[in-house]
Amino acid sequence: MVSDTPSTLSMLAGKRILLGVSAGIAAYKSALIVRLFKQAGCEVRVVMTDGAQAFITPLTLQALSGEPVRTSLLDPEAEAGMGHIELARWADLVLIAPATADLIARLVHGMADDLLTTLCLASEAPKLIAPAMNQAMWHQPATQRNVAQLAQDGWQLIGPAAGDQACGDVGPGRMSEPDTIFEAVANHFTTAFAPGRGPHVVITAGPTREALDPVRYLSNHSSGKMGYALAAAAVAQGARVTLISGPVSLPTPHGVTRIDVESAQQMHTEALRLAPEAALFIGCAAVADYRSASPAEHKLKKQEDSDTLTLTLIKNPDIIAEVAALTAEKRPLVVGFAAETQQIERYAHDKLRRKRLDMIVANDVSQAGLGFGSNDNAALLLWRTAEGIQQRTEPAQPKNQLAQGIIRQALALLSV
């Protein structure tokens, strides 16, 4: 639902939005996006790729925006005064919707072979992008690498959504609806703090590895995607973010300070060092509950005379509980995560109470396509207020979008 509150509309009034439209059936929704921004008082200029013009005409977007639509880098009249540089400087924000897999790949590699990609390279404005493609294309490792790189480069992804697709497939890849895209842009202009002026947020992410010998370890399936999405979302809200990361293959989000660790004990050391300096601590890492009591100095050899191997494990420190137990003057607001396979609400309430957390995010990791290793997640949020525990259910959605909702809720608790 599009927010039309006076504060949202006044915040957007006069903002200069450069909308890029690339080739895809979702291009028809670009007309609705232009209309929403014009209703909010924004100035909108549209740039279309050659392929986009096969799906919607420049005349339609010109009529809605009230401005000429640019389609060519080699337009003699427009480029008489270096028009593409002027347009790049004009924008308060660059939004590409829809963004095809091809366009995303070209942006990642810094290509400037048409007007839209050239503007993206030349503009220093914040950049948001709404992918739109077939579900199989979205799932391709190459596409996933590309969108991860865009996020590292500072782009904010909107979606994609999941559902029926024009080709008949069902799954993620649909461009987010125009009102969702509008809300993402509105949220960008209504950030909680000026960039880098917000509170210090410390986030743990990824798995830990507990050595058994020099070549083997105990670990789990965590990819770190949720924690990294939280870090990017916190930076987008103006926070100063330190990410304590277990071993993952993800790029560091733009504007985030990253500290790499391997074991739970190493993560514990860094968390307890940084937590007293933070206003908000988010324990998103999937920390191993146990470690080997005595890791072998050399590689353990297979015992030919035995079919079993006995390991002695000892408990790892409970990082989130120790941070929550800090004295009042050192204690940040503490948000924990609970990855469960059953009775999600019951276990979330129990963990919130038992570990004395301020907020908890619980998700069902038994659901196919959600949680560990996936790009999507759903969650149950619980947090403490003076009136008691409040809760909200977040439906399945891309992790970067879920992260934005979690961060906004956590920052709201800080201001209470």
Residues marked as binding for CTP?
283-285, 289, 299, 317-320, 337, 351, 355
Q: Which two tokens stand for residue 352?
A: 């919130």
Instruction: Give CA–CA dist 229/233, Å, rounded.
Output: 6
Residue 343 in contact with residue 364, Cβ under 8 Å? no
Place of tokens 């895209």: 181
Confirm whether 167 is a catalytic residue: yes
Q: Which two tokens stand for residue 88?
A: 């790049």
Instruction: Concatenate the DSSP letters of all residues of 279-290 into one string.
Output: SEEEE-SB--SE
Helix (H) or strand (E) holding 317: none
In 3D, which of 152, 240, 226 has the Cα closest to residue 192?
240
- Output the known binding site: 283-285, 289, 299, 317-320, 337, 351, 355
In 3D, which of 310, 308, 318 has the Cα closest to residue 293?
310
Instruction: Give CA–CA dist 344/381, Å, rounded.
Output: 11
Q: How far does CA 6 lie from the centroid of its chain? A: 28
Strand pairing category for 388-398 and 333-340? unpaired
Instruction: Give CA–CA dist 406/412, Å, rounded.
Output: 10
Q: Which two tokens stand for residue 51?
A: 């392929």
The single residue of 54, 63, 136, 167 carrying the catalytic annotation is 167
| CB proximity list for 24: less than 8 A, separation 6 or greater | 51, 52, 55, 98, 100, 132, 133, 175
- What are the residue numbers of the active site? 167
